[in-house]
Structure 1
Amino acid sequence: MAQHRRVRVPSLLALSIGAGLVLSGCGDDDSPSDQASAGHGGKPVVVATTVWEGAFAKAAGIDDVKVIVPQSVHHAPDYDPKPSDLAAVGRADFVLYAPFEPYAAKIKEAAGSKAKLVEVGLDNDADKAGAEVARLGKLFGTEAAATRWKASFDTEYGRLRADVKSAWPGGRPPVVVAQVFSTWSAKLAGAEVVGTYGPEAVTAQQLAALSKKKPALVLDNAHMSTGKVLPDSGAKQIEIVNYPDKDLDLLAVYRKAAADVKQAMKG
């Protein structure tokens, strides 16, 4: 899910001079048993660029994840990594990043770290998220914890789907238009998706075509919103949040989406 959250790194090389005195190198071998020695409770040390990657790591079994970009920074390009961020990267066994975050390699280089860079597929689609957590669990050597999370996730996801379904107006799935990075919430709601838009700006022609579909709801992306998408259609717009809070609880993202869609359907 390619949402553009980038960190500026112009001062990283300068910061690394001060941070370098406290950095400790890690081995290149990505074997969990070898890399776990520096972690907590025999687990590897994991640094994530944002709370989203951090939530995936926590779900996979890493209890203490260092996140570089604070959750409070809504626009990540405004954030300059601190020396403490570089120091954390220098001590890491794994640095998690998304493919649309090219700065991750620069941060690792500036920190002098030998950590393994791990690209995370950030997609809250239930099947994809479960598969990614399982992959990370295997990589970290925390398969048992990842399996337990997946079991709790499946149970909660099923409960949320049933709860939203119980609120369908007239017992029929809502007709929705969704931003391309919010379609996972439509799947959660069991909605009928009649059109998508983004991530590019919506053209007048697209707006006209989407309005003709007569959607009841517009599932927008809170992190890339450009305002009211179909202002004259009568459709209710919901801002779907993809990123978890600083507690890195990935399940909370699904609970919020389900609650917001259910509330919108009540009207």
Structure 2
Amino acid sequence: MARTRVRITSPVALSAALALVTGCGNGTGPETADGAPAAGKDGPVVVVTTTWEGAFAKAAGAEDVKVIVPQSVHHAPDYDPKPSDLAAVAKADFVLYAPFEPYAAKIKEAVGSKAKPVEVNLDNDPDKVKAEVDRLAALFGTRDAATRWKSGFDVEYAKQAEDVRAAWLGGKSPSAVTQVFTAWAARLAGATTVGTYGPEAVTPGQLAELSAKKPALVLDNAHMSTGTVLPDSGARQVDIVNYPGEDLDLLPVYRNAAAELKKAMSGS
């Protein structure tokens, strides 16, 4: 798997932008007992790096959410933060980012005097999603909204899982090889995971080892794909999309994955 070249704004440019932002003055707002900034009367202002963090924030109950990386950017780490992005970061109550994002350190540097940086565990596994939603809701002061979202999520997830498993050929769980960020889709499908790969490039040795497992499915990461993962293995490759759309709704991610999985299992 080829490595992606990531462009990062130079430290000089970022420092200059940060100086402009902090020069405008933000003032330190009230804080909660744990040191987090207290939400205003209309809820916290949350700035997120991508729509993935944005969907977690929305699920947790945040209503004022600004996304830095446009949804049109297929591979979010390729994005080069602009000075206007850093200005938005400095004015937020909370700034959500993922540790694997190359610009995460620069985003944290741009956090203003009142903003609280929050590292998010981006994983669409249902248990991990609900744990993160609970954690964020505790920070935002939006527990009731998060509880309502989780209730709807449980119903929708159960429906999609049931639909996918009804499509098993011969009523038997399919075997699958997954990319490290798509293991959640194997769980949704009720598939038996026989191997994983990534995020580093697949070596010839791994290729031979994974092909020998004779998986029925390969669940590839659509955001990091370099083509057919196990050529000549006979496995059906399914591109799994992790990032939600601009509406920051996480549920369509599961619906779309379920549809692609059912299509692959039906052989269409």
- TM exceeding 0.5: yes
Unaligned runs of 5+ in 1: none
Whether the aligned pair in 2 keeps the contact of 1:177 and 1:215 (CA below 8 Å) is: yes
What CA deviation, in whole Å up to 9, does each residue of 1:76-98 have, x standing for no partner?
Answer: 34433233322221221111111
Q: Which residue of structure 1 lines up, in the alignment, with residue 45 of structure 2?
A: 45
> TM (normalized to structure 1)?
0.89
Which stretch of the first structure deviates more once superposed, 46-55 or 28-37? 28-37
May I ask how many residue pairs the two structures share in their alignment?
Answer: 261
What CA deviation, in whole Å up to 9, does each residue of 1:188-238 have, x standing for no partner?
Answer: 000111111111211222111211211111001112212111110111101
* Paired residue secondary structure (2:39): helix
Q: 1:101 to 1:79 in 2, by over 3 A?
A: closer
> In structure 1, what is the Cα distance between the partners aligned to 2:134 and 2:5?
25
Pairing partner for 2:39 from 26, 36, 39:
36
> In structure 2, what is the Cα distance between the partners aligned to 1:205 and 1:108?
39
Q: 1:138 to 1:111 in 2, by over 3 A?
A: closer
Cα displacement (A) at 1:129: 0.6
Cα displacement (A) at 1:164: 0.4
Which amino acid in 1 is paired with 2:262? K
Whether the aligned pair in 2 keeps the contact of 1:89 and 1:113 (CA below 8 Å) is: no
Q: 1:35 to 1:19 in 2, by over 3 A?
A: same
What CA deviation, in whole Å up to 9, does each residue of 1:3-31 have, x standing for no partner?
Answer: x9977232222233444465523437345
> TM (normalized to structure 2)?
0.89
Cα displacement (A) at 1:36: 1.2
Q: Please, what is the CA RMSD of the aligned residues?
A: 2.3
Matched, 1:243 2:243: yes
Q: 1:99 to 1:248 in 2, by over 3 A?
A: same
What CA deviation, in whole Å up to 9, does each residue of 1:101-125 have, x standing for no partner?
Answer: 3633433434644311111111111
Query: Where does 1:129-144 land on structure 2 (aligned, <5 Å)?
Result: 129-144=129-144
Whether the aligned pair in 1 keeps the contact of 2:169 and 2:266 (CA below 8 Å) is: yes
Q: 1:58 to 1:142 in 2, by over 3 A?
A: same
Q: Which residue of structure 2 lines up, in the alignment, with residue 256 of structure 1?
A: 256
> In structure 2, what is the Cα distance between the partners aligned to 1:78 and 1:30?
35
> In structure 1, what is the Cα distance between the partners aligned to 2:203 and 2:109?
40
Unaligned runs of 5+ in 2: none
> In structure 2, what is the Cα distance between the partners aligned to 1:174 and 1:88?
46
Query: Where does 1:2-41 land on structure 2 (aligned, <5 Å)?
Result: 8-10=8-10, 11-20=13-22, 22=24, 24-27=26-29, 29-31=31-33, 35-37=38-40
Q: Which residue of structure 1 lines up, in the alignment, with residue 177 of structure 2?
A: 177
> In structure 1, what is the Cα distance between the partners aligned to 2:93 and 2:65?
11
Which amino acid in 2 is paired with 1:205? G
Q: Which residue of structure 2 lines up, in the alignment, with residue 124 of structure 1?
A: 124
> In structure 1, what is the Cα distance between the partners aligned to 2:77 and 2:17?
17
* Paired residue secondary structure (1:35): coil
Q: Which residue of structure 1 lines up, in the alignment, with residue 203 of structure 2?
A: 203
Q: 1:42 to 1:6 in 2, by over 3 A?
A: farther
> In structure 2, what is the Cα distance between the partners aligned to 1:252 and 1:23?
40
Q: 1:52 to 1:149 in 2, by over 3 A?
A: same
Cα displacement (A) at 1:42: 2.7
Which amino acid in 2 is paired with 1:134? D
> In structure 2, what is the Cα distance between the partners aligned to 1:18 and 1:7?
22
What CA deviation, in whole Å up to 9, does each residue of 1:133-156 have, x standing for no partner?
Answer: 011111110000000010000000
> In structure 2, what is the Cα distance between the partners aligned to 1:200 and 1:75?
15
Cα displacement (A) at 1:130: 0.8
